[in-house]
A and B are shown apart, each in its own frame.
Chain A
Amino acid sequence: METLMEQLAPNLYLYRDKFYKSFSATVEMFWKAGLIAGVVGLLLGVLLVITKKDGISPKPLVYQVTNLLINVFRSIPFIILLIFLIPLTRAVVGTAINVKGAILPLVFGTVPFYSRQVEVALSGVDPGKIEAARSMGSGTVGLIFRVYLREAVPDLIRVTTVTAISLIGLTTMAGAVGAGGIGSFAINYGQNQNHPDIVNVCVITLLIVTFILQSLGNGLSRRATNCGLLTRHHAGEKEKVV
């Protein structure tokens, strides 16, 4: 493996430790920012859907404020957002550089996109199902967890996949605040030192990661359509076991 790498990409071989470090920095940024952005984005997406004018708990003021904030942050290019947020990042996490300093801007860059996508996914739930659940006495919380979030799972998986892939794109820019990662490795060691093999390997690596994410998302989404994601045992079977 190592000799093959030496032959095909001699420069990468030379800097392989840096490459591994960069890759793990990208992975770290991806899952940390992704996890936080996922939770916050889901919350905001749900908030948008339920507070909408014809939502299950209409609150025009809440909706408009959330909507405006999301639009504002969505329209700032990420590379600008990175430096714009430096004071905030410093105040919140104590530093604005390294992987630690990149998480917050990554979250800010992902949440607006993700919450919009979640909003679209949840809006796709048939209003008839909501009405039926209301007729059975479900309140707002019941409607969110038992109908919206549950029925929208295939779409939620789809939009999460799209967002995850776009988040990988964002992590490559985090080098601008010294967070490292594949992106900055490709620029500093590949482009700036004129090592095309390094650039090529970085591209291939990102392609593979994207491909894996997309296939995983497609597969899960298909599995979850019109049935439970995991084969669930219903209460009746449990009773038989007991």
Chain B
Amino acid sequence: MIEIRNLNKTYHLKTGDVKAVQDVSLQIGDGVIYGVIGYSGAGKSTLVRCLNLLEMPDSGSVTLEGTGEITLKGGKPYLDGKVMTSRQLNGMRRGIGMIFQHFNLLDRCTVFENIAYPLRHTGRSGKEISRRVRELLALVGLEDKIDVYPSQLSGGQKQRVAIARALAADPRVLLSDEATSALDPEATESILALLQDLNRKLGITIVLITHEMAVIRSIADRVAVMEDGRVVEEGPVYDIFAEPEAEITRKFVSSSLLGKLDRMIAEDSDLVKVRPGELLIRLTYRKDCVEEHLLTTAARTCGFDLNIVLANSEYLRGNPIGGMAGILSGERENIEKGIQFLRQNHVSVEVIRDGDADGTACAESVPVS
């Protein structure tokens, strides 16, 4: 378990102070794949570097299993009330693996030497190191590249070597800083699959920094959304997808599920124009209702018509989630009854446009809930 409490980090630049991390508190459970998403400059890279103290936070505390609670006062780390020695600091870092966007392998060392890097000078024998490196290469599927230099590898292969290197010293936690951002879609997928596999096989906790919702969607269990150095929303990935609260989360999510709808509304497309008496709505079905034919039931029993504009459903971490946008027409009373019925059955209903809204019909877009 990693526990971050009231963490702060401010950079004092010539152009002014930048509050990279502001009062962040998080709990990351053991064996979880924890995503941190945000646009660039949101402070997610700084936050993750505060976990292994590559960046020294100004204040707050970080509790790591195997190390203890590290408190920060005046930009100095304290462990059990005493300033941490550099030996303690380096020992703590060895217990946390880290991979990077640009891999950061040593170009003048072979794959073998790169992976052996964290093992050398730790009292292990050459034989032991050799055995461990082979084991790791088998784990990441690059046994045949042992004597090759990084310049001869593809991006995805380099990241695999970097992962093997990060795992060499048996860390409990793996930090991934935009590890797939420099890779093509295929390599991205294979690296994400590898991370997920390692998480399952080794039970290693993975903290994953990214600006792509697709990455979170495909492997993260929980996610924290960051904006301007703060965590604005946090929870299980499914819940965040099903009911995003913060505006920025909504942006990340909608670009993922019903991405086109926002664009249609922004461009005032004919598809989303409503006539008087009509309602443009967005429905989100969660796992407990996605498989039932609630909508047709509602239309039949309450008596309204539905024109589907956009619909999508998919599996998220093994659970189905669905989204639909449509225009309802009919007696207002019936429509309201229908909405009531859907809400009772755990479908979240958002009225985006109301054709009756003070006569101007489709001109106004009602802000989403």
Name A residues whose Cβ lies closer than 8 Å to a Cβ of B. Answer: 126, 128-129, 131-139, 142, 146-147, 150-151, 153, 224, 226-228, 232, 234-236, 238-239
Contacts and interface: CB of A to CB of B under 8 A. Distances in A.
B45 to A, nearest CB: 11
B108 A234 contact: no
B98 A135 contact: yes
Contacts, number: 95
A75 B216 CA distance: 57
B90 A151 contact: no
Contacts of A228: 108-110
A226 B133 contact: no
23 contacts: A126-B102, A128-B104, A132-B104, A132-B105, A135-B54, A135-B93, A135-B166, A136-B94, A136-B118, A136-B165, A137-B90, A137-B93, A139-B86, A151-B107, A151-B108, A153-B108, A224-B108, A227-B108, A232-B110, A234-B110, A235-B130, A236-B130, A239-B126
Given A132-B104, A226-B108, A137 B118 contact: yes
Contacts of A136: 93-94, 98, 117-118, 165-166, 169
Interface string B178-211: 0000000000000000000000000000000000
B72 interface: no
Contacts of B91: 137
Given A132-B104, A135-B54, A234-B112, 7 more contacts: A128-B102, A131-B54, A131-B100, A136-B166, A137-B118, A139-B87, A234-B130
Given A142-B121, A151-B107, A235-B130, A134 B102 contact: no
Interface residues of B, number: 43
Query: Sorted from nearest, which 7 A-B pairs have the closest CB atoms?
Result: A132-B104, A137-B94, A137-B90, A128-B104, A135-B98, A226-B151, A136-B118
Contacts of A134: 54, 93
B116 A235 contact: yes
Contacts of B284: none
Interface of B: 52, 54, 86-87, 90-91, 93-94, 96-98, 100, 102, 104-110, 112-113, 116-118, 120-121, 126-127, 129-130, 133-134, 146-147, 149-151, 162, 165-166, 169, 175
Nearest to A126: B104
Nearest to B147: A234
Contact of A227 (B52, B121, B149, B162): B149
Nearest to A127: B104
Given A129-B104, A136-B169, A150-B108, A236 B133 contact: yes
B113 A234 contact: yes
B14 to A, nearest CB: 12
Nearest to B126: A235
A50 B113 CA distance: 24
A236 B146 contact: yes
A131 B104 contact: yes
Residue of A128, A146, A234 ringed by the most chain B CB atoms within 10 A: A234
Contacts of A147: 106
Contacts of B93: 134-137
Given A132-B100, A137-B90, A236 B108 contact: no
Contacts of B133: 235-236
Contact of A150 (B54, B106, B120, B151): B106
A138 B52 CA distance: 13
Contacts of B107: 151, 226
A126 B102 CA distance: 10
A225 B104 CA distance: 16
A146 B147 CA distance: 18
A124 to B, nearest CB: 12
B104 A236 contact: no
B108 A135 contact: no
Contacts of B150: 226
Contacts of B165: 136
A135 B52 contact: yes
B90 A138 contact: yes
Contacts of A232: 110, 113
Contacts of B129: 235
